[in-house]
Chains A and B, each alone.
Chain A
């Protein structure tokens, strides 16, 4: 067993920072160089002013040219430094996202019945943006702010210590105010966002239920309720505007406040001859450097906090153990034959977001090459029973066997290679029909594809698809009918030629004729394959070698169609009702 990876935010930061440490080092080095170059401009300004006072025209031109040179160099270095650091953050986000996705695909399927897709997507996308800010602008500004503060303040001190102290005196106050204001802006924008979410869901609710609103003639009341929600939004937006209204001018006057100090104290220092007029101008320029970093400070803190929280949420998913990491001892990877047995199976599946299903005392032997029909009410446990075979749900050890081997000891890859399952929901991906049929991860020949399309009767639908097998399915493509979807998913399982085939309520949207044709084809190859058909339609099951009837998680009747009809139990009653429904339909 390998050591559990450490997935706390701090360790994730360390891991990914280390991975790109050279790029970061290079970026920080360039950032330092940028600052050195930037600092030299006021210095050059000072010399230019002094040259001016000395009426030295040639020096004036020389300094102007040097400023141009420095500016050119600085813009190049600055661009590089940003590219290095921000670029590294994009790579971190890319790597972390790939890792998360890969991990997600290998989680037990029960994870998905307990967690909402929306939440997982939000972590993969929105949280990843926060992580990216942490590793990019967050780190960049942290380093830059520190560099600017240290170097600029040093330069100012070297020019005039007393004036520097005076100039910096209001800064703690500024920082305090900026901090307070940005916190208030943050809180207000959260409150605006909340209200936006609330009016959005209100609109969503209203529009989805519009026919009810009309039925009860509630339009005016709904509009009035919306107006009051909108007014609340207005109120909150204005609170935010008030906080922002203070922040914007604060930034503006902070730059000028420095000038005020320079004029007040620097002017006097010039008069007293303590500093030159050049120092005066340079000092003013240095003070301007400090404005941005002071604002960035609160933002950096916030970025780090939110980034760490996002990393925590991503780490939470990464910490869920994947379905199968190592092969335990004694697993034999031989192809499956198809003899299935359930022995004394008791099973409870309790998803947090679904109701519990219980299976009780299931004992069942299905010989290789047999066809088993499973009939039962909604929630009787039919689907749960068949999903234990490919371990969509994992049964307790010692209860479910294929060829006498415990399914929990058969490698997942083998199980899923040899079991073809058509799920209840005919799920298709937004890609071509060909890709949807040849979905299983192995190569298929054109002949195999044709055969599967023929046997699933998808063939009859092809002329209706705008581009035949190359038709793209889905929202931006062609919309398939329920029956067409089912036929495509049946083809997807048949193409695998699996020794075990499971049809979980997979014939429900087919009309009787097509269903008959599919069943006829299944029968032809029946002996090579064990087939389990789940349905609540008697007609779909009547041809099976054996049929079991399930109720409340237990097998209540079993036998052939004829046996069950004769015995006059639940099966017989359902059969009668269904033939009645068919009669009414035909009337």
Chain B
């Protein structure tokens, strides 16, 4: 894949999240929330704690205007300086309490959200590990990464700025309302009349603003894609003199982005102005009507001031009404996607009652049978069309064939990365589909062509963190393949770190390490995809010696690329177009004069000539 498809993963991620944003549905879905609640339940103590703090915060906040009223109506009106000190002290106490409680509330709420999200993230990831190869073939990497990172993160906003916070704010509103009604029923009712107005305005604008921002993000995504493509194809752009035409095209996109951006600025500015306007209007209303009430002696002057203060506190939560809605919408969409992933079942799983194989130490274990195996990659061509062969215990078999003959597919099927479409594969007479997956993959030791190292230490790369493999066995395995010669020269020896998937080791060293890994697990069946990469002759000799050690006493299948490997094997299977076409020893096949002879001349002679196209 090249051209417009190159950089597909990056753009794939952009366009996927872009598409995801388009589908926003309900802001509250009881079915989904119920499922989210199952993750919240273990942390219910945190939720309770946070709620208690919230109640305390509200109380400390609501007490403040009331104290102001007391000051005005009491000490100030009665010219009592000592009374002022008392009220100031009470006020200061409320401030300190507000600070402390608010801290607790914010912290515990965030802790709830993050803890829930941590659990979910771990669960989704663990689940992802069990899914089958075909699932990963279908889903681009970028999309799956988004599921375990961005989507999970979005969900946490249900707590920090979604339904939980909203519930708290509503509680406060009720509190304020109660106080206002208690202080003066008529003035309270008048003040409340602005609330629905405010709510409607806030909701209307928030939705507009959200849509405007989404339009901006869409334009950014378009710009991103255009830049990505133009920069990647800059050679073509310049060779075909597209510069001026592209300037024009980019201007369209750039302009569209600017205009969308200006639109969002406009909504945002008008919204904040309108909210402020409504606030000031309510102040005027309270002064006009409340002032009249003061004049007739229905309320005190302090009550009027308190009314003004309480009215201000109304606006906070109502202003944010629309944004809670948007947050909930995206959180619901995210949770829907996450749960859909969690509901995906793996097609390749261990059977409920796995069959048992003879123990590894039993003499004569390690027979591998491919019985009329057929396999087609999803949406592709048939790779194996009735492949049959038997490898006897302890036999060393080399598999040769031209590119695309299906050699690598054999390995994938043998360890059930994919299941056969027809026929069966048996190890020691048991169909591999009846075996426990982990057991199968430990029985069949695989050494791949790209010597893959995991992050961790050298020791953990050989033992793979398996508690059944003690350090002594790891070191013995390394010694046997003579990997210890370079390991012991490292500053921290077996505890040296592997960086960037083994970037700090040479090809030869990585090869020896993967041999040591295979040896440590001591599998009855060994499958080795021999490396094609050329190494110097000293390393080559070391590798061959290690390989001989590795193959002793076990059944081995080698996808051979080296002449010496072929010559030393007991039998050679020649794979051609998905079937075994020729088999025998090197000498027999060479004498036969079939495909093998041509392949031999092509692959193993004249090593100085260029690789075949």
A residues adjacent to B (C-beta < 8 A): 41, 45, 48-49, 51-52, 55, 57, 60-61, 63-65, 67-68, 70-72, 74-76, 78-79, 82-83, 86-87, 90-91, 93-94, 97-98, 101-102, 104-106, 109, 112, 117-118, 120-121, 124-125, 196, 199-200, 203-223, 225-227, 230-231, 233-234, 237-238, 241-242, 244-246, 248-250, 252-253, 256-257, 259-260, 263-264, 267-268, 270-271, 277, 280-281, 376-378, 390, 392, 413, 416-417, 419, 421, 423, 425-430, 439-441, 473-476, 479, 482, 485, 492, 508, 536-537, 570, 573-574, 577-578, 580-581, 583-585, 587
Contacts and interface: CB of A to CB of B under 8 A. Distances in A.
A204 B220 CA distance: 24
Interface string B1-32: 01111111011100100000000000000000
Interface string B214-254: 00000010011101111111111111111111110011001
A280 B72 CA distance: 10
Nearest to B236: A427
Contacts of A426: 2-3
Given A41-B280, A52-B294, A479 B240 contact: no
B401 to A, nearest CB: 9
Contacts of A476: 15
Q: Which 5 A-B pairs have the closest CB atoms?
A: A249-B102, A241-B110, A71-B280, A64-B288, A474-B4
B287 A75 contact: no
Contacts of B72: 277
Given A67-B283, A214-B441, A244 B292 contact: no
Nearest to B260: A90
Nearest to A221: B465
A90 B265 contact: yes
A580 B601 contact: yes
A216 B240 contact: no
A352 B612 CA distance: 29
Interface stretch (B115-123, B194-202, B203-211): B115-123
Nearest to B610: A377
Given A121-B224, A267-B75, A475-B11, A105 B464 contact: no
A52 B301 contact: yes
Given A203-B144, A259-B68, A427-B233, A226 B125 contact: yes
B537 interface: no
A527 to B, nearest CB: 24
A86 B402 CA distance: 64
A573 B92 CA distance: 94
A475 B5 CA distance: 6
A517 B237 CA distance: 28
Given A90-B258, A215-B417, A439 B242 contact: yes
Nearest to B105: A245
B59 interface: no
A245 B105 CA distance: 8
16 contacts: A52-B291, A55-B295, A65-B284, A79-B269, A109-B238, A120-B231, A221-B454, A221-B465, A227-B126, A277-B72, A281-B305, A439-B236, A440-B241, A574-B609, A578-B613, A585-B402
B281 A71 contact: yes
A39 B88 CA distance: 27
Contacts of B76: 267, 270-271, 277, 280
Interface string B256-274: 0110011001101110111
A55 B84 CA distance: 26
A423 B612 contact: no
Given A241-B106, A252-B61, 11 more contacts: A71-B277, A75-B273, A98-B251, A104-B234, A117-B232, A121-B228, A121-B231, A215-B417, A227-B126, A263-B88, A430-B229
Interface hub of B133, B229, B247 (most chain A Cβ within 10 A): B229
B130 interface: yes
Contacts of B257: 94
A116 B261 CA distance: 28
A277 B145 contact: no
Contact of B598 (A200, A208, A583): A583
Given A52-B295, A259-B64, A580-B601, A101 B240 contact: no
A268 B85 CA distance: 10
Pick the most buried of B233, B273, B294, B442: most chain A CB atoms within 10 A of its CB. Answer: B273
A225 B498 CA distance: 15
Given A231-B118, A263-B91, A48 B287 contact: yes
A197 B261 CA distance: 28
B2 A485 contact: yes
B353 interface: no
Nearest to B80: A271
A226 B128 CA distance: 12
B87 interface: yes
A257 B240 CA distance: 68
B179 interface: no
Given A64-B287, A260-B91, A271 B258 contact: no
A70 B284 CA distance: 11
Interface of B: 2-8, 10-12, 15, 61, 64, 67-68, 71-72, 75-76, 79-81, 84-85, 87-88, 91-92, 94-95, 98-104, 106-107, 110-111, 114-115, 118, 121-122, 125-126, 128-130, 133, 136, 141, 144-145, 148-149, 153, 220, 223-225, 227-247, 250-251, 254-255, 257-258, 261-262, 265-266, 268-270, 272-274, 276-277, 280-281, 283-285, 287-288, 291-292, 294-295, 301, 304-305, 402, 412, 415, 417, 437-438, 441-442, 446, 448, 452, 454-455, 464-465, 501, 517, 576, 594-595, 598-599, 601-602, 606, 609-613
Residue with the greatest number of chain A CB neighbours at <10 A, chosen from B81, B288, B417, B598: B288
Nearest to A440: B240
B110 A216 contact: no
Contacts of B251: 98
B446 A216 contact: yes
Contact of B276 (A78, A222, A245, A248): A78
A249 B98 contact: yes
Which of A57, A90, A263 neighbours the largest number of chain B CB atoms within 10 Å of its CB?
A263
A388 B145 CA distance: 42
Contacts of A213: 129
A78 B262 contact: no
Nearest to B130: A219
A424 to B, nearest CB: 9
Nearest to B348: A214
Contacts of A200: 145, 149
A584 B595 CA distance: 6
A227 B465 CA distance: 16
A91 B452 contact: no
A263 B233 contact: no
A485 B4 CA distance: 10
Given A41-B280, A57-B295, A125-B223, A256 B64 contact: yes
Given A98-B251, A212-B448, A416-B239, A479 B5 contact: yes
Given A226-B125, A253-B99, A423-B236, A61 B141 contact: no
Contact of A425 (B3, B94, B121): B3
A249 B114 contact: no
Contact of A234 (B68, B102, B115, B250): B115
Contacts of A479: 5
Given A57-B295, A214-B441, A245-B103, A581 B402 contact: yes
B566 to A, nearest CB: 16
A241 B111 contact: yes
A246 B98 CA distance: 11
A27 to B, nearest CB: 11
A242 B108 CA distance: 9
A60 B225 CA distance: 61
A215 B95 contact: no
A60 B602 CA distance: 104
A426 to B, nearest CB: 6
Nearest to A430: B4
Nearest to A439: B240
A19 to B, nearest CB: 15
Contacts of B291: 48, 51-52, 57, 60, 64
